[in-house]
Structure 1
Amino acid sequence: MAPTLCSKCSTFRFYDLFNDDVVFHSDLNSLVQLAKKCESCSLWWSQVQRTCTKEDIAACLAKKLPANAVKSSDNGDFKIYLRGEWHPAGTASVPDQIWLSCGVVVSAVGHDAPSKLQTNLVVFADPVAAGADPATTAGGLFAGRYSTSAVHPEYHATFAKNTLANCRTGHGVCNQACPPGTRQMPTRVIDVGDQTLPAAKRVTRIVLTKDLKQPQPYTALSYCWGSGTQAMLNDTNLADFLKLLPESQLSKTHVEAIDLTRLLGIRYLWIDALCIIQKNQKDWEAESKRMSSVYGNAELTIIAGRSPDSGLGFLTTKKHPKPVPMRAGPNPHTGEGPDLGTVYLTMQRGKSVGPVDTRGWCFQEALLSNRALVFGEDQVFYQCRQHTRYEDGCVDVDVSQRGQALTSLHPGTKPEVLRRWYQMLVSFTPRALTEPHDIFACIVSVALITHGVLKSRYLAGLWECDMPRGLLWKSRWSYVSRKHFLSIEKPLASPFTKRPGEVPGKPVIRAPSWSWAYVTGPVFWDTNPRIESRWIDAKNICIRPRDSKGLWTKQSGAGNPDVLFMPALELQIFGKAVEVRCTKVMKKHTPLTPEGIMLEPVKSASSGPAKSSYIALGYLDFPSDPMPANIWCLLVVAHEGLLLTRDGKGKFHRVGWFAVQDGKQFEAVKETAVDLV
């Protein structure tokens, strides 16, 4: 059924608007009135309300200058203008779009006169029809596409096939990372059936890859389990699943991943719930250590980003307003050739991944994947080592946010790898884990890769070669003081826990107090290369290992990066430790300002009571907890250190960090032995 359009919208062509400012309506009131019967104007009005402030909208409706507008010669102009923006071959980081502005032509925005009101809609085209000449169709010149359950419901498979094929033939860095001839397969995969057979004769089952004649391409799934994961592999049903995997018993996400793998023409698929024997600790530990191989060797990782629960599936996007058609006109750049047909207007789609980006296990899976098809909240996009290509036509060539250099063929020097390790943890620590004790397991493959460069012992998430900086992790809430950072908390036992002594929902200990893994929530390290000497210059470091060989701990078995559980580990340190007392609490100036404590020594460096002088400004890891019975300042580097408390056995526990206020008071302090647990 043809859409209902007003006289303006029915005659507009994208070509008429490209690089030219065209009057759309006499004023905003006219747009509002026509929005009642014109689908295109209705979409524009919805976008104005969604993206512009109520104050600016009200001012334009009343034909008054918004409070923040700059006075200029156009103050009396309240016309609505449109201007098109097109990017040949879809190589830009923004999609093809049309801008709307009130009172000032779009070309003037950002120059000498700001617009009173401004928004935009994205332009997309249908895929090029089979056999059609791309030069004479909108689909050949407009890169944007639109895939929903109502519009091209299977276009995601076509999009994946095309981008994967281009990646295979044109991306040397992606092919070099995973040469087809060297590909290793996981222990078990799902055989989605021989595609040459009729659907009724295909058999879906689990296969042992050691029984295959040679390695085969496979996809891997990254997703949120939620409560929807139904059938799972276990010791009891393994023999049955090797014969037949009943799809009717699988969660919707699992079924959709199987269907998508078939559409891609790939026969095998890896899903953790169906390829790792659940509740089998030995198999779980062995397979958890192989995630680098599982995701790194996959032909494609399917990331079900938009789905919070595997029972909901991931192919369907959230509902968007219905796109409206528009004539394309001739080639926008040359103005020559026939009419290209129809393009469509829709609201701009975001680039966020979705709920998967909040889960701890999914972080490593995306980081390790050579190629991934991401079903984001608003659109599908293809992500590889060279670029990210979005369904709306955008191309992002900056892959640094994925931290791919950490898992690349040439990760860099040791200082660069350490810097990326900390940056990776800054992104990882805000993520949630259902089972808190999985904290080391779900980054073990990244730790193994990092260890290959550093050749250093891995101690409860810290690298022995960079211990001073590693110890000085900080809550982003206490250090950066931004309202969008949450304070750190103590990890809580899983509601499904069966560990002795643990109570569901109550705090648990999964790492020593000095490790970032002791807490849950966003933590931070200073990785600014300009001040990196603070952490590596021996003259600036104020602690050292007691072991003559430079080992920070002598505990048996410590240091292996594939150790999945490290709840207790003791460091033996020489350093300057001063017992202090809190003399003043620095109250928050604003809700965004952290609360610090002013500290002064209990005794002077010589003997007797200390003179009143602040030695440090401290920040407790858990400020809502009762103040520790005793507090010590351990100077780690010249300007910072750890707040500790001492137990009845003489062992020290971390309770926070401090910034030095009076460094001279540390000069006379004698070095002492500190056992940090």
Structure 2
Amino acid sequence: MTLCEVCARLDIEQLGDTDVRFHPNLKSLQQSAAAKCPFCTLCYTRVMDNTEDSVTDALLNDRIPENYEVECFTPSVWLRGEMRQGNRGVGKDLQGCGIWISCGRLYPDGGLGEINRPGMPFTSRLSVFASQNTSAAFKYIDRLSTADHDPDLYISLASWRLKRCKASHTLCNPASSDMPTRIIAVGKPSEKPQLVTTGGLCEPYLALSYCWGPAQDTFTLTHETKAELFSGVAEEKLTRTHQEAIQIARSLGIGYVWIDALCILQGDADDWAFESQRMAQVYGNATLTIIAGRSSDAREGFLTNRLRQKVPPCALRISAHSEETLNVCLPRSTTVGPVSTRGWCFQEEKLSTRAIVFGQEQMIYQCREEQNWEDGQIKFHDLTPTFLAPGVSGFGGACSPADKDATLDTWYRFVEIFTMRALSNPHDVFAAIASIAKLAQNVLGSRYLAGLWEEDLVRGLLWRPRPQVQAHPLCKEPLTRPRPTPFAPAPVIRAPSWSWASVEGPILRAYDRNPGRFRDSNHVKIKPNPGGTGWTADENCDVSVLHMPACELQMVGRVAKVVLVKTGAREWLLADNSRRKWLTYSRMLRHAVLLTSPGEEGSDANSDGSVVAAGVFDVLEEAGDHEEVYCLPLIEKEGLMVVPHGNSWKRVGWVELRSWAWFEAQPEIEVRLV
């Protein structure tokens, strides 16, 4: 298709230097798109996809959108380029090269007029990229790789980024050159991949992070296939994802690749237990991790980007005096893909010093210092060392309170993300994050109790189901107890009731601007059992323990019996004038129950003084299972909803306290929380 007369006069340098009046109005742009001008089609498609229907409907029908005045409104469509050679710029985050489309000039207009206030009715952006092996590619780093355009871009992108990272990024150097126990020697394309035992071998290798998928008959390392793998396996027996990982290693000139299904003995519990605790070394020491983000099934592969945009890219000249071109296209998603929903893959990504991610619509090269998207976006990370980079973290020797607070903050943030992900085997909940926990323990020096740290136990106990307290597009469904799967028959009991791992679904940590308050005896309302060994005598909890279905906490606290009022809680709380003083999370109102003090017969929630707390059951569907509950305050305003369990107590929910004075009047007793 041929550019229209207006677009034929456009060039990248012109757009980069000044605002360009493109069309007198959106209707004119629509007509040019209908006449098949490729650039006008791109612009019109992007505006229509990115703008509210009420706005485009008004503009296409010669009406002024709401909230604009006739006297000062301009319907004109403008372009402005945002071009950076090499994407050089100032700031923590940089967008790739692009072209803005706006109704009225973009701010600031420099007093030149044709600007709309308040705000522009629409502002949309197109991406710009250079094709590989063109002269423009030496100036601009923005790229596009699909099945139809530069499909082998991953080779040059990974090679260039890896070389640059090795030369200039101190934080990205692996702490050790130790290799995994077993690894695949890829050989030449004419040779069979072969499993080898590394022994004292120290060679660069790749590691693979991917989704296995539903198939249970794919070729893996077992006692039956071990001899075949050690002698060399026919490549066609492997899943497509495994074949493509081997292909990448060969293309980059790296002789080895680690793939869990081919390097850990499947069905051997002892080998799995040993190897699953070495993920920090496996991924941390890898030269590069391949993250097969866009694939949900290892049989399908991941190398080919099958993106088909609504409108194909379009070429524009770089300058009026040159035939050299850059390409313009619709923006691409930065979403990683199915891998970002899997529990094991979270740890694999966080432990990797460098990775190339084959995302849903584009590739990403990421390391400890920055992330670089295929489309030119760059995000620079905070270079403050963390516990994830042993050897270069600056956390050697005795760790300061600030180091520990930073580690705890990162840990809680990681748990929030991890609990948003799924596990094929729910019993893997601790194993799938064990290597991160081990690195955190090196800083904290604390016992690890079923996902919580003993030295910060009170804050750890105050987790909440995320959908109950915070709106999030990926966290809408209520939490459940861990559900059975083909790998885990019912009942699935994988953690004590007080651990976030006792439920399935996203949780949110307790938040406090001053984490030291959780270690302040005036703020904290429970304490370890006198004469005991900390918060528990249980010796079966630690980062090296991969299954922790039970652990008893022993403490002294005030357990108070309350009356459970399940109906009318929302209305009562909305009418409570003191609500803002004690109820932190307004979102909890839709699920809350009232907890009232046991009073004279006939007392109810209508008496202001009788409501001592509001609570929410961790698993909402369990509310019908309980008619009698108790409160265990942990800090002055927050605590747990518990129920008797033999001679112990079990957590069933969380509470916010309306009257600490009432709880303070209750006697302290020995509490065993299981």
TM-score, with structure 2 as normaliser: 0.89
1:84 alignment partner, one of 66, 81, 85: 81
Is residue 372 of structure 1 aligned with residue 376 of structure 2? no
CA distance in 1, matches of 2:414, 2:420: 11
AA partner of residue 521 (structure 1): G
The answer on 1:492 being equivalent to 2:486 is: no
Partner of 2:121: 116
CA distance in 2 between counterparts of 1:300 and 1:72 reads 58
Which stretch shows the higher mean deviation, 309-318 or 638-647? 309-318
The one-letter amino acid paired with 1:187 is: T
1:236–1:312 Cα change, 3 Å: same
Q: Given the alignment, which residue of 419, 423, 429 partners 2:413?
A: 423
Conserved 8 A contact 1:228-1:312: no
Decide whether aligned partners of structure 1 residues 111 and 44 sit closer, same or farther in structure 2, where only a CA change above 3 A counts.
Answer: closer
- Alignment partners' CA distance in 2, 1:122 and 1:596: 47
User: Do the aligned partners of residues 71 and 406 (structure 1) sit closer, same or farther apart at CA in structure 2, a change above 3 Å counting?
Assistant: farther
Matched, 1:345 2:359: no
For the pair 1:101 / 2:92, whether they are aligned, the reply is no
The residue number in structure 1 matching 2:54 is 55
Measure the CA separation in 1 of the matches of 2:362 and 2:115: 29
Q: Structure 1 residue 300: deviation in Å?
A: 0.1
Which 10-residue stretch deviates more, 454-463 or 431-440?
454-463
Q: Map residues 269-308 of structure 1 onto 2, 5 A cutoff.
A: 269-308=257-296
Please give the alpha-carbon distance, in whole angstroms, between the structure 1 residues aligned to 2:54 and 2:326: 33
**Which deviates the most, 659-668 or 581-590?**
581-590
Q: 1:650 aligns with which of 639, 647, 650?
A: 647
Counterpart pick for 1:126 among 116, 128, 131: 131
| Contact 2:87–2:140 (8 Å) recurs in 1 | yes
Match of 2:583 in 1: none
Task: Specify the alignment match of 1:617 in structure 2.
Answer: 614
Are the equivalent residues in 1 in contact too, given 2:129–2:144 (CA < 8 A)? yes
Aligned twin of 1:311: 299
In 2, Cα distance between equivalents of 1:405 and 1:474: 25
Task: Answer yes or no: is the 8 Å Cα contact 1:576–1:666 preserved in 2.
Answer: yes
CA distance in 1, matches of 2:407, 2:104: 52
Indicate the larger mover: 459-468 or 5-14.
5-14
- Of the three residues 225, 232, 248, the one matched with 1:244 is 232
- The letter for the 1-side match of 2:233 is L
Cα separation, partners in 2 of 1:540 and 1:441, compared to 1, 3 Å: same
* Contact 1:645 1:652 survives alignment (8 Å): yes
**SS at the partner of 1:624?**
helix
- C-alpha change, 1:225 and 1:353, in structure 2 (3 Å) is same
Q: Kindly tell me: are residues 470 and 491 of structure 1, through their superposed partners in 2, closer, same or farther at Cα, counting changes over 3 Å?
A: same
Q: Deviations over 1:151-172 (max 9, x none)?
A: 1110111000000000011112
Could you tell me which amino acid in structure 2 is paired with residue 561 of structure 1? V
Asked whether 1:596 is paired with 2:631, we answer no
Find the counterpart in structure 2 of residue 560 from structure 1.
542
Preserved contact between residue 219 and residue 269 of structure 1 (Cα < 8 Å):
yes
Q: What fraction of aligned residue pairs are identical, expressed as a percent?
A: 37
Equivalent AA in structure 2 for residue 552 of structure 1: W
What does residue 335 of structure 1 align with? Answer: none
Deviates more, 1:581-590 or 1:26-35: 581-590
Matched, 1:206 2:195: yes
How far off its partner does 1:110 sit? Answer: 9.2
Shift of the 63–456 alpha-carbon distance from structure 1 to 2, 3 Å rule, reads same
Q: Read off the aligned partner of 1:22 and give its amino acid letter.
A: V
Matching of residue 30 in structure 1 with residue 28 in structure 2? yes
Residue pairs, 1:329-344, within 5 angstroms: 329=319, 339=322, 341-344=324-327
In the alignment, what sits opposite 1:151? Answer: 149
Q: Secondary structure at the match of 2:652?
A: strand
Deviation at 1:111, TM superposition (A): 8.2
User: 2:263 and 2:386 mapped to 1: Cα distance?
Assistant: 26
Against the structure 1 CA distance between its residues 372 and 110, is the aligned structure 2 distance closer, same or farther, given a 3 Å change threshold? farther
Report deviation, 1:572: 1.5
Corresponding residue number in structure 1 for 2:435: 445
Corresponding residue to 2:203 among 210, 216, 219: 216
> How much has 1:32 moved relative to structure 2?
1.7
Q: Which runs of 5+ in 2 are unaligned?
A: 396-401, 575-585, 601-606
Counterparts of 1:230-269 in structure 2 under 5 Å? Answer: 230-269=218-257
> Distance in 1 between the 2:386 and 2:371 partners?
12
Contact 1:218 1:268 in 2 (8 A): yes
- 1:188 aligns with one of 165, 182, 191: 182
Amino acid at match of 1:190: I
Distance 1:193 1:81 in 2: 55
Query: Is 2:102–2:120's contact at 8 Å kept on the other side of the alignment?
Result: yes
* Aligned structure 1 segments of 4 or more residues deviating by more than 6 angstroms: 588-592
1:333 maps to none
Distance 1:533 1:603 in 2: 37
Residue 593 of structure 1, CA deviation: 4.7
**Distance in 2 between residues matched to 1:110 and 1:591, nearest whole Å:** 40
Aligned residue number for residue 580 of structure 2: none
- 1:519 is aligned with what amino acid? V
1:354 Cα shift?
1.3
- Unaligned regions of 5+ residues in structure 1, if any? 130-136, 331-337, 605-609
Displacement of 1:44 in angstroms is: 1.8
Cα separation, 2, equivalents of 1:306 and 1:90: 26
Question: 1:219 touches 1:268 (CA, 8 Å); kept in 2?
Answer: yes
Conservation of the 8 A alpha-carbon contact between 1:104 and 1:116: no
C-alpha displacement at 1:112, in angstroms? 4.8
Letter in 2 for 1:423: R
CA distance in 1, matches of 2:44, 2:587: 37
Contact 1:642–1:656 (CA<8 Å) still a contact in 2?
Answer: yes
After TM superposition, give the deviation of residue 398 of structure 1 in Å: 2.6
Q: Out of 333, 336, 339, which is 1:356 matched to?
A: 339
Question: For 1:84 and 1:20, how far apart are their aligned partners in 2?
Answer: 8
Distance in 2 (CA, whole Å) between partners of 1:422 and 1:146 is 36
* Contact kept? 2:407, 2:440, Cα under 8 Å: yes
Native 8 Å contact 1:367 1:407 kept in 2: no
Instruction: Please state how far the C-alpha of 1:366 moved relative to its aligned partner.
Output: 0.4
**Deviation readout 1:527-556 (Å, 9 max, x if unpaired):** 44x23243121111111121525422212x
Amino acid at match of 1:189: I
Distance in 2 (CA, whole Å) between partners of 1:139 and 1:453 is 45
Question: Which AA in structure 2 matches 1:372?
Answer: A
SS at the partner of 1:350?
A: coil
Secondary structure at 1:262's aligned position in 2?
helix
* Structure 2 counterpart SS, 1:452: helix
- Aligned residue pair count: 632
Check whether the contact 1:630–1:646 (CA below 8 A) recurs between aligned residues.
Answer: no
2: CA distance, partners of 1:13 / 1:451: 57
Aligned 8 A contact 2:498 2:650 in 1? yes
Note if 1:322 corresponds to 2:330.
no
Deviation at 1:478, TM superposition (A): 1.6
